[in-house]
Structure 1
Amino acid sequence: MAKIIPFQAVRPTRDKVSLVTCRSYEDYTTAELAAQLDFNPLSFLHVIKPAYTNQEKVTFEKRYRQVHQKYQDFKLENILVQDKKPAIYIHQIITKTQSYTGLIVGSSVADYCNNTIKKHEETLDYRVRLLKEYMKHAEFNTEPVLMTYPDNKIIENWIFNQTQKLADFEFSSTKKETNYLWKIDDPLEISWIQNIFSKIPSLYIADGHHRFQAAQLLSQEFPQDNNKAHLLSYLISENTIKVYEFNRLVRDLNGWSKPAFIAALESNFIVENKDQQPYQPTAKQEFGMYLDGAFYKLTYRNRATKTHDVLENLDTQIIYHTILLPLLAIQDLRNDERIEYLSGKQSILELKQQVDEGSFAVGFILYPSNINEIKALADNNLIMPPKSTYIEPKFRSGMVVYEL
């Protein structure tokens, strides 16, 4: 059964929160990053990237220690302040098209080990080791693992009632997202919601597999440290999570001419030329393709006789086994430099532009997976192919910090 705990978060003061919090470091363009670091001394990016000012190249361990020191500086300057009592937090993000509301808690590493917290994504050992060392030396975590729980009216009603109160803070980001945070530090309320979650059989990781595995290694190194036995998590009902696809861009046709490549596709797909009409798939096992100035619709021929194997029925698996591997000779989806990915949040016209400019020879447009596929894979201990899903919401760094 799922175990959650309250914790004493370190948070920006109410007057500074809009200046402190930031997106994930990788989400910024070079120009955006420079602007934030040059002109906003309160940005949490200064904690994440403390060597920026001197543009120095340092070892991983030295950088992690600099992160820790800069974090301590922010606390000494009262930019970040620790709550006096353990609490759980309700966080709401409202965008132009979506609204997400979830619980920020500490989740149990033991639950991850015993598969109460279920996984669907393969991790890379080197990334896990780096994250573990980062957590060890920085001694905090501010990017929660995103997890889902089954729709639950009791939790939904409780969250609704709590969010009718005045939020601890409210602020808007430069991406025109409005963020709210409510602190729940009443022991009776905390005990009540812990009891509700203790009756939920499983939680499912949506985003953050590497963080959880790194936390597992850290807890093994410090078995007596209760803080390291838990990890910052954002729990959200599965009916509100948003799953986008990752589209594929390939640099060349692996020696195929255009007519020969299309002919080869026809052994597994019904190929329809859409010419200049941008094509977005409207159902599973349909694919879009952009090649040499034209869009195509690819309909998988075996869809009527598909197996009950949830992994083999994934669109990302189908396109890998029918096109990327046998025709384009792409074996390693993570590391092959001939393939790149665009999230489904980006327009397919961006994909078209990159092909038209000659950076890539062909682009493939996929239909997004859904939470039921993710759960089915996790329940059967199966792993999604790399870059199968781009999942929202995304949490802002520096808004809630969990100290390890």
Structure 2
Amino acid sequence: MATIRPFRALRPARDRAGRVSSVPYDVVSIDEARQIAAGNPLSFLRVTRSEIDLPSGTEPYADQVYAKARENFAALREQAPMVEEDSPSLYFYRLRMGAHEQIKKHERTRRDKEDDRTRHIIELGAQTGVVFLTYRSTDEIDRCARAVTADAPLYDFRAEDGVHHTVWKAGTAEAACLVDAFRSIPALYIADGHHRAASAARARAEMRTRGNSNDADAFIAVAFPEIQMQILPYNRTVKDLAGATPEQFLAALRARLPVRDGRPTPRGKGEVSMFLAGKWYAVDLSAAPPADRSRASGLDVALLQQHVLEPHLKMGDVRTDKRIDFIGGARGTAALEAAVNGGKAAVAFAMHPVTIDDLMSIADEGGIMPPKSTWFEPKLRDGLLVHLI
């Protein structure tokens, strides 16, 4: 049974929602965050990536970063202004891009990132980033959602990236309908936000030891039905060829896997597009044996790691190896070409996207997907709804 509960949200004034809300802190670099927030003192990135208001080169986990986040959060609450709801409620969030256990995980987390967000939560006394969940859709939840969206929205704006964001506040009856409907859901699945969820749990435990857990027993989340989820590929670039020339690397790869002239986008599952020395190749992984019989081991990202990155590029743990970079599919394959042609990478790999069925089935098996397997679009905005604890 999935348990959801209303909460008293801290949120920006209606006419400031577009200026306050921001992309999630972990999908942009520090330079990109500075550029986005430039000229906008109300940007929520000043809370979630507060080092943008400190000198360049500041260590991201330094004490002054959290002190600055606390200072900026207090200033934003006053200047935006941010208002706290009088009573708990639930909210319905719609995103439009273009034309249009009870909680199961599928990804490991990095301790340093957990430490960072745990401290951020405790220092601010607030969960500022939402956990992105999915579930197998039901008619009952859809019925409740239609009732909520029949009323006028709380927020309705188009962000600078062209994505349209609309948020409704559920009334008492609609909130009760949603709470009851979710009781029939056997499990929720984390689509994005494993570090936020883990950090919320750690913050709760630490605050309990201090005798002050307040409302930390739950974390702020948004749940979308699986039929509305859009997964894009999560592509890779590698800075060097582990001492090999492009010709040597290509010859070694061809001795192991079928490689032919290709195109920027893979034709389907089992094929990876590789950009090397100004040319696209198609690498066939379909016949490559997986490490074991689990569904996770058969994913293209796992096969790429097993048969290309490890043996030919000497790539161990991609979560910590600084030679690899990950580029979300929203940036397109042109970003991969630019990285290689500009000398920032020696080779790039364009992946075929993982399916939502892969994600849910692997989580049901208790499996773990390889790091950076999924890129969801569009992205939820930080700063629209904050959970004070």
TM-score between the two structures when normalised by the length of structure 1: 0.87
Q: Residue 320 of structure 1 aligns with which residue? A: 305
CA contact 2:97–2:378 (8 Å) conserved in 1: no
C-alpha displacement at 1:40, in angstroms?
2.2
The correspondence of residues 90-105 of structure 1 with structure 2, limited to 5 A, is 90-98=92-100
Q: Residue 109 of structure 1 aligns with which residue? A: none
Residues 195-232 of structure 1 show CA distances to partners (whole Å, capped at 9, x for unaligned) of 11111110000111111111111222234635100000
Residues 252 and 48 of structure 1: CA distance in aligned 2, closer, same or farther (over 3 Å): closer
Q: Hey, what's the Cα distance between the residues in 2 that align with 1:305 and 1:125?
A: 28
Residues 38-73 of structure 1 show CA distances to partners (whole Å, capped at 9, x for unaligned) of 522332233345565564958744432442343233
- Which of the numbers 244, 248, 252 marks the counterpart of 1:256? 244
Q: Residue 294 of structure 2 aligns with which residue? A: 309
The correspondence of residues 160-199 of structure 1 with structure 2, limited to 5 A, is 160-186=146-172, 188-199=173-184
- Which of the numbers 275, 282, 299 marks the counterpart of 1:297? 282
Does the alignment pair 1:210 with 2:195? yes
Residues 278-303 of structure 1 show CA distances to partners (whole Å, capped at 9, x for unaligned) of 33112111111122222111222526
Gaps of 5+ in 2: none
More displaced 10-residue stretch of structure 1: 253-262 or 139-148? 253-262
Give the residue type in structure 2 aligned to 1:368. P
CA contact 2:128–2:383 (8 Å) conserved in 1: yes
Q: Residue 232 of structure 1 aligns with which residue? A: 220
Q: Hey, what's the Cα distance between the residues in 2 that align with 1:54 and 1:296?
A: 43
CA contact 2:51–2:68 (8 Å) conserved in 1: yes
CA contact 1:94–1:179 (8 Å) conserved in 2: yes
Q: Residue 85 of structure 2 aligns with which residue? A: 83
Give the residue type in structure 1 aligned to 2:24. S
Q: Hey, what's the Cα distance between the residues in 1 that align with 2:312 and 2:357?
A: 30
Secondary structure in 2 aligned to 1:325? Answer: helix
CA contact 1:68–1:138 (8 Å) conserved in 2: yes
Q: Residue 105 of structure 1 aligns with which residue? A: none
Residues 5 and 36 of structure 1: CA distance in aligned 2, closer, same or farther (over 3 Å): same
Residues 70-99 of structure 1 show CA distances to partners (whole Å, capped at 9, x for unaligned) of 32333344611111111000111112144x
Does the alignment pair 1:141 with 2:127? yes
Residues 337-386 of structure 1 show CA distances to partners (whole Å, capped at 9, x for unaligned) of 22222222222122123222333222222111011111122112221111
Q: Hey, what's the Cα distance between the residues in 1 that align with 2:229 and 2:165?
A: 16
Q: Residue 3 of structure 1 aligns with which residue? A: 3
- Which of the numbers 372, 376, 386 marks the counterpart of 1:391? 376
CA contact 1:143–1:395 (8 Å) conserved in 2: no
CA contact 2:133–2:188 (8 Å) conserved in 1: yes
Give the residue type in structure 2 aligned to 1:79. P
CA contact 2:290–2:298 (8 Å) conserved in 1: no
Secondary structure in 1 aligned to 2:308? Answer: helix
CA contact 2:127–2:200 (8 Å) conserved in 1: no
Secondary structure in 2 aligned to 1:359? Answer: coil
Give the residue type in structure 1 aligned to 2:85. D
Residues 28 and 341 of structure 1: CA distance in aligned 2, closer, same or farther (over 3 Å): closer
CA contact 1:4–1:197 (8 Å) conserved in 2: yes
CA contact 1:22–1:45 (8 Å) conserved in 2: yes
Residues 299 and 31 of structure 1: CA distance in aligned 2, closer, same or farther (over 3 Å): closer
Secondary structure in 1 aligned to 2:203? Answer: helix
Secondary structure in 1 aligned to 2:191? Answer: strand
Does the alignment pair 1:120 with 2:106? yes
C-alpha displacement at 1:319, in angstroms?
0.7
Q: Hey, what's the Cα distance between the residues in 1 that align with 2:29 and 2:290?
A: 45
C-alpha displacement at 1:262, in angstroms?
3.0
- Which of the numbers 63, 73, 77 marks the counterpart of 2:75? 73
Q: Hey, what's the Cα distance between the residues in 1 that align with 2:160 and 2:185?
A: 37
Q: Residue 63 of structure 1 aligns with which residue? A: 65
C-alpha displacement at 1:2, in angstroms?
0.8
Give the residue type in structure 2 aligned to 1:288. S
Q: Residue 111 of structure 1 aligns with which residue? A: none
Secondary structure in 2 aligned to 1:345? Answer: helix
Q: Residue 323 of structure 2 aligns with which residue? A: 338
Q: Hey, what's the Cα distance between the residues in 1 that align with 2:285 and 2:360?
A: 24
CA contact 1:68–1:139 (8 Å) conserved in 2: no
Q: Hey, what's the Cα distance between the residues in 2 that align with 1:281 and 1:366?
A: 7
Q: Residue 270 of structure 1 aligns with which residue? A: 258
Q: Hey, what's the Cα distance between the residues in 2 that align with 1:38 and 1:48?
A: 15
Residues 243 and 365 of structure 1: CA distance in aligned 2, closer, same or farther (over 3 Å): same
Does the alignment pair 1:364 with 2:349? yes
C-alpha displacement at 1:336, in angstroms?
2.0
Q: Residue 118 of structure 2 aligns with which residue? A: 132
Gaps of 5+ in 1: 99-114
Percent identity of equivalent pairs: 28
Q: Residue 107 of structure 1 aligns with which residue? A: none
Richer in strand (by share) = 1
CA contact 2:148–2:169 (8 Å) conserved in 1: no
Residues 226 and 3 of structure 1: CA distance in aligned 2, closer, same or farther (over 3 Å): farther
CA contact 1:269–1:301 (8 Å) conserved in 2: no
Q: Hey, what's the Cα distance between the residues in 2 that align with 1:163 and 1:366?
A: 36
More displaced 10-residue stretch of structure 1: 30-39 or 71-80? 30-39
How many pairs align? Answer: 384
Secondary structure in 2 aligned to 1:327? Answer: helix
Give the residue type in structure 2 aligned to 1:231. F
